[in-house]
Structure 1
């Protein structure tokens, strides 16, 4: 086996923000992979607010911020670390472009920077796009000189780089790695040979450069050009080593791909074959197997059936891979490994708290737990069970206990009278879910809209959820679902029947009532409302800000349920093993016959994971 699994930590736990290169991760340590995902991958999210592009779409290539370039560098080195190759690669802003005497004339000036050329090429890509026909003559590694914005340096950058249409920055790096073909905006003939991925993971590469423009609509989408060619001085010679994607060990399922690959310097995969088995030992029927030496190191690529192209899991899902028949000097003739796809938001380490099930109101109780491996911090959540009925109404915004997951261009709580002729749901205000726009540049589609009840609900026998609603302008392609989670939001199940739009031209004249049974659970559940679009036209707030688009909800309540009211959260060191419960640490006086709950939360990679199982405690005299 040529690919080792580094044992060093991916960062210094507790030190944030993280760097942009020099990472390592123990792929055989599930908690280390979880922490690596949250500390490093997630650190480059939100890049759209940091790009600070200074250009325009009439010819000014512009520049991007140093923080944004750092986001790209961090995302690139995240994937390199996860794949076991050197992670000191720079996304440089001062490296001269690569000149090849075989390139067509005229040559760009040798002192031109890679980043400058890439920025020029990124703008050229979008300026030649015709949204009416969907055609773009600039989408080639040999763009003709009659294109808008063409220049020798722009030609050089696309000839020697990866390019993405419809994605930019760290988002483009993700697409290069997954080699998505779900959209004509991001696919190319190189996808099924994973050429972009192989350049990104080239073990000998040390200097990249990025060119980006953020786009402004579906008609002027974002673009990226990642300069991947290396000058002789930028090559860091490496011994032959297998580089697999997805990588051996624990691997975040979000990064899974339709195309799996194995590459190696000096390898000959001409006669190599691939066998892949699922966790039950059943052979996975591959769609196609390809071999190629055109991009980076030689590689064998296999295309998965739909059943293995999974992007979400709750339980860890493993696949065994065996590649045999490899040849080449110093290269083993076979390579076998296991990939375990994981949900990076699910912590499997026990967070159980042990101790007495009853506690005297005038005494203290000692409770113990085993800190999960690698924990940067721990929290004990002390909550009291309450049977007090509540109703989530939109009338007084400051009293609302919800988590808003809606777009920034409209408020979650609205006065329905603002929409002339629409009428009320119950009172003057309601919760509104509508689509903010018909095309979001980051999700490349219509974004789901959500709000979550900020309550931990204990469902008893016969527990139900009810609320009032009115559909505004809500097409048949628009759906509201109510979902419940007993896993702190890691997984969700649908509650009751979805509410679907019934007319493309009318809104509800009357108020309707929703009622559905809540799923039985030994743990407290969370409830959220999610509004999403399927294929078809939708109404958006952007297009009709003065019209009642979407759906309006009010008077949300549960029946035959209790609530866990959090009274205090105590933060402990990551190596803590015990907690003392008394009136001070509970955050309230302990009273005879009260029922309390203790739950443990763990911090990994600067992220607090959902709390573990409840330790129920009854207060005695």
Structure 2
């Protein structure tokens, strides 16, 4: 894949906004603020990160992974040292950045790809971008020099980052995976988080202070963009993934990515215990990470979280008429939505 122009890169990254219309994109519902959990601790993060074992087809393994990877990133103090009023981007605590990384890698490992690390240069630039978004209470991938707290580094990061206004930290990461709003029908934020080539990313986070909205900038178009695609668990990358999945991370929009797939005429069928579930296919859009098809099952919408199941519930998904190297192919897989607390 050739490296895109600056303009095209900017177009590729969409915006998540809380109750704010920007460039025709709106997400009226944002992910909830993270809540502290009993006994939550980041002390064992290095050990967990160095040995992230997961068997997606083993229910207990998935439950353990949710407990050890997802939940510990809740309720961590941001420790921000900056100030919107004085244009001081500041920093967040190492524990907070670790929590964000833990959340990103939870989704990546569940999706069947390698974990990423945080790059300090990307972090620094993303922090400048997040400050600009917060201070100006707006989102832009190409902020003008007239913006308060403008910096060239912040502008660079804005053009290469997922952007969120009204949510920061791990909550923003889950918000990107939810990708709510009519303007996010391509699930572009999700696709960048699940971009297999990425080895390192950056995060910038500015909390809500003194009337300014909180903001996250997740630096995702890095020097890894367009490099050779590494192996993934399967050749395709769906969300939710095939296997057991906690209902808390299943959202109204489902997606299926295949890097060399053409989904222009693809069809989706979805069923539960042999009963067909009607779906609404979103308009196919290329240019956000890997080629992807997105749909919404009946009973849900683009801002929905999945209903808590009373028992494990298996859905069968078939994607047909996918053109790969001039050949039509079909893919079938099962997703079992679980309550990890049962």
Q: Same fold (TM over 0.5)?
A: yes
Mapped contact 1:23–1:77 kept (Cα < 8 A): no
Task: Report matched runs for 1:27-46 at 5 Å.
Answer: 27-46=56-75
Partner Cα separation in structure 2 for residue 232 and residue 33 of structure 1: 29
Deviations along 1:442-478, one digit per CA (max 9) or x if unpaired, are xxxxxxxxxxxxxxxxxxxxxxxxxxxxxxxxxxxxx
SS at match of 1:211: strand
Where structure 1 has 5 or more consecutive residues not aligned to the other structure, the ranges are 1-14, 94-112, 130-135, 182-187, 347-621
Task: Report matched runs for 1:405-420 at 5 Å.
Answer: none
Aligned with 2:223 (options 227, 231, 244): 231
Task: Report matched runs for 1:117-266 at 5 Å.
Answer: 117-129=125-137, 136=138, 139-181=139-181, 189=183, 191-216=184-209, 219-232=211-224, 235=227, 237-238=229-230, 241-266=235-260
Mapped contact 2:96–2:169 kept (Cα < 8 A): yes
Structure 2 match to 1:326: 322
Structure 1 match to 2:36: none
Structure 2 match to 1:311: 307
Q: Using a 3 Å threshold, how does the CA distance of structure 1 residues 232 and 249 change in structure 2: closer, same or farther?
A: closer
Q: Using a 3 Å threshold, how does the CA distance of structure 1 residues 152 and 235 change in structure 2: closer, same or farther?
A: same
Q: Using a 3 Å threshold, how does the CA distance of structure 1 residues 64 and 20 change in structure 2: closer, same or farther?
A: farther
Partner Cα separation in structure 1 for residue 328 and residue 108 of structure 2: 22
SS at match of 1:125: helix
Q: Using a 3 Å threshold, how does the CA distance of structure 1 residues 236 and 168 change in structure 2: closer, same or farther?
A: farther
TM-fit CA distance, 1:23: 2.3
Partner Cα separation in structure 2 for residue 210 and residue 330 of structure 1: 39
Mapped contact 1:24–1:82 kept (Cα < 8 A): no
Q: Which has the higher contact order (CA 8 A, sep 6+)?
A: 2
Structure 1 match to 2:79: 52
TM-score w.r.t. the length of structure 2 is 0.80
Partner Cα separation in structure 2 for residue 194 and residue 263 of structure 1: 11
Structure 1 match to 2:114: 86
Aligned with 1:299 (options 292, 298, 305): 292
Partner Cα separation in structure 2 for residue 157 and residue 287 of structure 1: 34
SS at match of 2:180: coil
Mapped contact 1:21–1:90 kept (Cα < 8 A): no
Partner Cα separation in structure 2 for residue 330 and residue 33 of structure 1: 37
SS at match of 1:55: coil
SS at match of 2:54: coil
Deviations along 1:68-94, one digit per CA (max 9) or x if unpaired, are 11111111111011011112x11221x
Aligned with 1:271 (options 265, 268, 272): 265
Mapped contact 1:168–1:224 kept (Cα < 8 A): yes
Partner Cα separation in structure 1 for residue 190 and residue 224 of structure 2: 21
Structure 1 match to 2:105: 77
TM-fit CA distance, 1:267: 1.4
TM-fit CA distance, 1:21: 5.6
Task: Report matched runs for 1:60-75 at 5 Å.
Answer: 60-75=88-103
SS at match of 2:322: coil
SS at match of 1:291: coil
Mapped contact 1:75–1:173 kept (Cα < 8 A): yes
Mapped contact 1:72–1:91 kept (Cα < 8 A): no
Task: Report matched runs for 1:513-592 at 5 Å.
Answer: none
Mapped contact 1:116–1:211 kept (Cα < 8 A): yes
* Structure 1 residue 115 corresponds to structure 2 residue 108: no
Partner Cα separation in structure 1 for residue 203 and residue 44 of structure 2: 24
Mapped contact 1:20–1:70 kept (Cα < 8 A): no
Whose radius of gyration is greater, 1 or 2? 1
Partner Cα separation in structure 2 for residue 26 and residue 54 of structure 1: 39
Runs of 4+ in 1 over 6 A off after TM superposition: none
Mapped contact 1:267–1:331 kept (Cα < 8 A): no
SS at match of 1:86: coil
Partner Cα separation in structure 1 for residue 159 and residue 185 of structure 2: 19
Q: Using a 3 Å threshold, how does the CA distance of structure 1 residues 16 and 207 change in structure 2: closer, same or farther?
A: closer
Aligned with 1:285 (options 250, 275, 278): 278
Deviations along 1:295-336, one digit per CA (max 9) or x if unpaired, are 111111112332585332221122110001112239871111
TM-score w.r.t. the length of structure 1 is 0.45
Partner Cα separation in structure 1 for residue 151 and residue 228 of structure 2: 30
Q: CA RMSD in A?
A: 2.3
Q: Using a 3 Å threshold, how does the CA distance of structure 1 residues 331 and 34 change in structure 2: closer, same or farther?
A: farther
TM-fit CA distance, 1:339: 0.8
Mapped contact 1:206–1:234 kept (Cα < 8 A): no
